[in-house]
């Protein structure tokens, strides 16, 4: 039977995709862990939705996030082997967001999450993506990651998840989300 543990992280360090090890609390593993959380939250949303087009969309995003994690985990000497996310991926997210925004009403104020179970999960995923975006910005500004499209992708993804949450709420029969300020 295969082992599910390697013991190589018992010293508090972890490997990257390349030479070297870094502390587990280093910004790069922190960013990768946040991206992993986002992928898991999107998996929960994908499991909850009954709309095949939403399942397909979320699965594609999860696959993109795995590619994004690979590039973010790669060291400078081999980052090109892991380069996948480019401007076309950012454009794809913009197209998805624009298409959904044509069929939902966008409120002009903040909304309170929780109108539907799936909507709440999508909002949670959005907030985790925002945290990943902040971590990625730090990596890029430090020069540890060089592809600015990774940051753009995360920025657009959070917008798409907001519109997708509104779509889910309205598809569930609730015409308007709960607003933060009663109107």
Could you tell me the domains of the chain? 22-171 (1.20.1200.10)
CA distance readout (Å), 59 to 44, 56, 92, 132, 153? 11, 5, 14, 18, 15
Could you tell me the pLDDT band of residue 132, with boundaries at 50, 70 and 90?
Answer: very high
Short-list 118, 127, 130, 125, CA closest to 177: 118
Q: What is the mean pLDDT of residues 140-155?
A: 97
Could you tell me the pLDDT band of residue 170, with boundaries at 50, 70 and 90?
Answer: very high
- Tell me if 70 sits within 8 A of 157, measured CB to CB: no
Helix orientation angle between 27-48 and 117-142, rounded to the nearest 10 degrees: 160
Instruction: State how far the Cα of 172 lies from the Cα of 170, in Å rounded to an integer.
Output: 5
pTM listed for this prediction: 0.94
Instruction: State how far the Cα of 30 lies from the Cα of 27, in Å rounded to an integer.
Output: 5
On the question of pLDDT at 183 being above 80, the answer is no
Residue 107 — left, alpha, or beta (φ > 0 → left; ψ -120 to 50 → alpha)?
beta
Compute and round to an integer the Cα radius of gyration of the chain: 18
CA distance readout (Å), 124 to 40, 49, 112, 158? 11, 15, 12, 10
Q: What is the mean pLDDT of residues 106-132?
A: 96
Q: What is the mean pLDDT of the chain?
A: 94
What are the DSSP E strand ranges found in the chain? 13-15, 21-23
On the question of pLDDT at 66 being above 80, the answer is yes
Q: What is the pLDDT of residue 82?
A: 96
pLDDT tens, residue by residue, 152-169: 999 999 999 999 999 999
Q: What is the mean pLDDT of residues 13-42?
A: 94
On the question of pLDDT at 3 being above 80, the answer is no
The fraction of the chain above a pLDDT of 90, given in percent, is 85
């Amino acid at each position: 039977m295969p082992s599910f543990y390697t013991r190589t992280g018992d010293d508090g360090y972890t490997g990257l995709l390349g030479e070297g090890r870094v502390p587990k609390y280093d910004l790069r593993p922190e960013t990768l862990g946040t991206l992993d959380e986002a992928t898991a939250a999107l998996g929960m949303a994908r499991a909850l939705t009954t709309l095949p087009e939403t399942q397909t969309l979320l699965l594609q995003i999860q696959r993109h996030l795995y590619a994004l994690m690979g590039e973010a985990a790669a060291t400078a000497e081999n980052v090109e082997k892991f380069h996948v996310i480019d401007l076309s991926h950012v454009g794809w997210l913009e197209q998805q967001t624009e298409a959904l925004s044509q069929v939902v009403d966008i409120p002009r104020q903040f909304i309170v999450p929780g109108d539907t179970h799936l909507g709440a999960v999508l909002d949670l995923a959005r907030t985790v993506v925002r945290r990943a975006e902040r971590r990625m910005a730090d990596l890029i500004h430090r020069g540890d990651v060089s592809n600015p499209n990774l940051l753009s992708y995360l920025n657009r993804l959070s917008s798409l998840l907001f519109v997708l949450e509104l779509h889910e709420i309205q598809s569930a029969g609730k015409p308007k989300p709960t607003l933060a300020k009663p109107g």
